[in-house]
Amino acid sequence: MPSELELESSKVPMRNWIALFGGLIGAFMAILDIQITNSSLKDIQGALSATLDESSWISTSYLVAEMIAIPLSGWLSKSLGKRRYITWTTVIFTLSSLLCSFSWNMTSMIVFRAMQGFSGGALIPLAFSLVVQLLPIHKRAVGMALFGITATFAPSIGPTFGGWLTENLSWHYIFYINIPPALLMIAMIRYGLDDEKLDLNLLKKADWFGITTMAMGLGCLEVVLEEGNREEWFSSSLIVTLSIISTVSLVYFVINELQHKKPLVNLRLLANTQFAMACTAYLILGMALLGSIYVLPLYLTQIQHYNAMEIGQVLMWMGLPQLLIFPLVPKLTQVIKPKYLVTFGFVMFGFSCYVNTHMSVDFGGQQLILSMVLRAVGSPFIMVPLSLVAMKNIKKIDTPDASTLTNVMRNLGGAFSIAIIATLLDNKTREHLGHIRESITSVSQTGWQTLHQQQAFFMQSGSDAATAMQQAQASLLATMQRDAAIMAYNDVFLVMTGFLALAALLILAMRD
């Protein structure tokens, strides 16, 4: 049993907890803002007189800037000091949120969203680093659980919260809502963290070649993944050009980082097999987290014709049960090996996707609740123990770099999943529609019977015979397209199930 002296020395000062909660508020806001505009795009598009393609850049600009900011956070926190860096980046995040609400056209909105993404992107890895640096090992699972809530709960409620604010107030409030917590966060960070001296030498001797190649590589890759399906992938000269720039930049970035004495991101950490496997698991986790947040509202809008509030009432089952489970996970890590908890989490997440592989036109919000709850049960068992597994053999001085890598992998996973899902839905819908058309031939008795029934219905509504037949054909085609889309959604969930099963096997194969 530990002595009273040992217990006393292992206590965490209140200042550390205040600083940690301040950092977690920042991470929560940054992650929330990735998704919060999704339910309000039509309103913003109308207010700024923009096209649908232009409005898609509201999310893309944020994600591109965030992806660039995450790898820079470790270097900047060492150069400027964590207290100063978090304060400055939170101030910029708050101002850019306010400027977004004052946008006068789509160009200004995209610029301000990029500023918001760049400042918000730093808040996510910094919160993760604070958990490791401010808490002793025996309290780290609690910190990881708190970080897990921000990483999984924020995207779950983002579309719901944004939709509610837009419907009851206006779209401007999805940006105003950042200001009060940001001010609270600055006060908590200023109180909880000690000030550190500026390290101007580290700024002067920065890995500028690494910074440039990283920014170009990840920025172009994010645009390719976000816009690729809309631009029909490599049939677009823009996508081809950006893909080449991204590939060349990232190759030079990796070579530079492995040779540089003081690299921007310490890629040598990936030589640790355990950490590399954990990063792969983070990639798949990002694919599943953001992929499901992307595909479920899409399904409910396209097939079930739900509005933002109705979608939110379904998605809340993905988030709220997690709040009951997260407090139990730190205790479980003390009696069950973390890798088994992570495996269980991935299995439950995979099972939640598998439940959705047999959807039909009658599969609405009520039928989706089971899969939402299964996911809510699985997610906490991934976030907390996976952090412990990843950081097990990482030195404290390498924590910022390790945090950067895990967060980049999770964000990349989300970008990959959205690109894969959008492409799969398009291709599979066309494929299934072709099969349905082949099954309903020109001599199909069932097909003609359905057409005549529809024609009779439209004639009773007042149409003449020729017009009623055209309406019946259009109605039959719409039904066929809807059924083809449902089959495509089933295929997407099957692919997600496969990736999550792979992650479970990967974690299970780790050595103790």
57-61, 124-128, 238-242, 406-410, range with the lowest pLDDT: 57-61
For the stretch 260-303, pLDDT in tens is: 777 777 788 888 888 888 888 888 888 888 788 778 877 887 78
Q: Tell whether domain 265-512 is in CATH 1.20.1250.20.
A: yes
pLDDT bracket for residue 347 (50, 70, 90): very high
Contact 159, 297 (CB under 8 A): yes
Distance CA 209, CA 262 (A): 12
| Helix count and strand count (H, E) for the chain | 21, 0
Contact 66, 120 (CB under 8 A): yes
Contact 9, 72 (CB under 8 A): no
Kindly report the pTM of this predicted structure.
0.75
For residue 315, give both structure tokens.
Answer: 């998605």
Contact 78, 65 (CB under 8 A): no
Distance CA 39, CA 169 (A): 14
For residue 400, give both structure tokens.
Answer: 């910022």
Closest CA to 141 of 404, 391, 324, 333: 333
Distance CA 233, CA 225 (A): 9
Hey, where are the domains in the chain? 13-206, 213-263, 265-512
Residues above pLDDT 70, as percent of the chain = 86
Distance CA 269, CA 408 (A): 14
Residue 357: other Cβ atoms inside 10 A? 16
pLDDT bracket for residue 49 (50, 70, 90): confident
For the stretch 142-159, pLDDT in tens is: 777 787 777 777 776 776
Architecture of domain 13-206: Up-down Bundle (1.20)
Which residues touch 39 (CB under 8 Å, ≥6 apart)? Answer: 159, 160, 162, 163, 166, 297, 308, 311, 312
For the stretch 73-119, pLDDT in tens is: 777 887 788 888 888 999 999 999 889 888 888 888 888 888 888 88
Q: What is the mean pLDDT of residues 152-178?
A: 77
Tell me whether the CATH fold assigned to 13-206 matches the one assigned to 265-512: yes
What pLDDT, on a 0 to 100 scale, did the predictor assign at position 52?
A: 58
Contact 288, 414 (CB under 8 A): no
